[in-house]
Structure 1
């Protein structure tokens, strides 16, 4: 791991500690669920979202460097002189789970050398339920809890597929199209964590049922790619050209191979 990457990892770990403190200060739905405003990403900003983002932004401000921040609630902000570096943050990926007390949500932070998904050089995802730390460096590999991620890869047929970006209507519409393609479905509530689980071979495919935003996928997709797996924004390819902004332009699919991604994408596009 390079010195620059190690510095970002240290910052991310500090952010985890700050968010853990926020979770203790806002322990139940009563404190976490109130809606404060509309977020720049289009979703309601709840008390837990706002407090977690304030903690992360405070850490980033203290860096004193030049970068562009892309964040769930604040939107796009320039720090210092801006420049090529982009920091893409979702302080609480899986915020519905977080506010309801379901321990399956994460901090997702990516660092890029330019404005697209293909420019991402560092990805960090922390699972606040299990405490697992997922890290990837472009060209340098992927790690789980500080050790190289060398678990068995996903299967080349889909036993378990994770749906994300879900509502009851989306699931009812999409699930029938995948009969005969995926044996089992999981709906867990954090796209970043589902992609991490794919990278670890715990599931065999992941797809979002609504357009994915860069804040949801920028960090975890690097783990997927460093493991040699396939990922695509199948309604607006190519994946590497996806802008680091708050717009959702396409659903995302990821699996062991490009061929499997194409099969899942084709099935979803028939709906």
Structure 2
């Protein structure tokens, strides 16, 4: 274990996160066609199992990809801790650097062949994300950020185009906001989330449910949506995307670094021109409070 005060360079960690996430995305992209039919859930034997509930799947590609990410990170940073969705790790905030990994965010989309799933890799120091990358696998777009250095994307246009610096939409009226959200796997929380969305929908332009929180947060950063709210995300869901959104100018409210999905904390990201209005609206309808299991 490294000492608590050892030096880290966020841009170097962001470079590592980007390289590792892009390599992992190559693996995910290749395995989709090997394990499943082009669309739908038809799969080879033993490709899919259930986790927390029957509606919460994990595929062999999830576990393979996390193993690959862990191997690549150990080659680059052998003394750092790793917290991953599949192989676990302590949520307690360590001294030094902790890598937070979601090998496939949007596994249900991956399972069905819906092109909205991502690899997310972030580096945290004292529980705060300082670098991270999210690769939208199907679209071939990489988003990344280092604290204080802005948020960037590559692959939005021509393959050889220069990286694009991201910024949130210049929106000022929450009534015109396009809002991304997501839902839990537990029936009880879904009931409460559905009621909250019913109260939010008349207050905004519309709601989008993409099915991958890391992508939602990057969409706030790129201006593909204006805001995001979701209850019950785990650190691997928001560690990279939350930083990318913040570095693009969004107001971001994150769960505690040692929280889990069961705690039900809200993750919020909003373009700066509507942030006050959006958070006030969420508070008025009761959506800022946690929804624990």
TM-score band by shorter chain is 0.7 to 0.9
Write the deviation string for residues 158-203 of structure 1: whole angstroms up to 9, x where unpaired: 4311121257745542232114311211111011101111111221
Match of residue 243 from structure 1: 257
Alpha-carbon distance, 1:34 to partner: 4.3
> Please, which of 65, 72, 85 is the counterpart of residue 78 of structure 2?
65
Partner of 1:23: 32
* In 2: Cα distance, 1:43 partner to 1:204 partner: 28
Distance 1:34 1:133, change over 3 A: same
Alignment coverage as a number of residue pairs: 255
RMSD: 2.9
The one of 196, 203, 209 aligned to 2:218: 196
Inter-partner Cα distance in structure 2 for 1:106 and 1:5: 17
Distance 2:232 2:181 in 1: 12
* Residues 156 and 70 (structure 1), Cα distance of their counterparts in 2 relative to 1, 3 Å cut: farther
* Secondary structure of 2:205 counterpart: strand
1:101 pairs with one of 101, 113, 133: 113
**Bigger mean CA offset, 92-101 vs 158-167:** 158-167
The question of whether the paired residues in 1 share the 8 Å contact of 2:122 and 2:132 is answered with: yes
CA distance in 2, matches of 1:20, 1:245: 30
Match of 2:11 in 1: 2
Structure 1 pair 5/166, CA: closer, same or farther in 2 (3 Å)? closer
Q: Note the alpha carbon deviations across 1:84-114, whole angstroms, 9 max, x for none.
A: 1100000110111111111111011111122
Q: Find the counterpart in structure 2 of residue 236 from structure 1.
A: none
Assess, with a 3 A threshold, how the Cα gap between structure 1 residues 265 and 213 changes in structure 2: closer, same or farther.
farther
Hey, what's the Cα distance between the residues in 1 that align with 2:46 and 2:224?
A: 31
Shift of 1:25: 2.6
Specify the SS of the correspondent of 1:58. Answer: helix
The superposition leaves residues 195-239 of structure 1 with CA deviations (integer Å, 9 ceiling, x where unpaired) of 11111122121111x311111001001111112211224xxxxx5
TM-score by length of 1: 0.82
TM-score normalised per structure 2: 0.76
Greater strand proportion: 1
Q: What is the aligned counterpart of 2:123 among 84, 91, 111? A: 111
Which consecutive unaligned segments of at least 5 residues does structure 1 have?
234-238
Matches of 1:32 and 1:50, distance apart in 2: 15
C-alpha distance in 2 between matches for 1:224 and 1:185: 18
Distance change (3 Å), C-alpha of 1:153 and 1:74? farther
Q: Which runs of 5+ in 2 are unaligned?
A: 1-9, 155-162
Equivalent of 1:218, from 227, 232, 239? 239
- Decide whether the 8 Å contact of 1:164 with 1:189 is kept in 2: yes
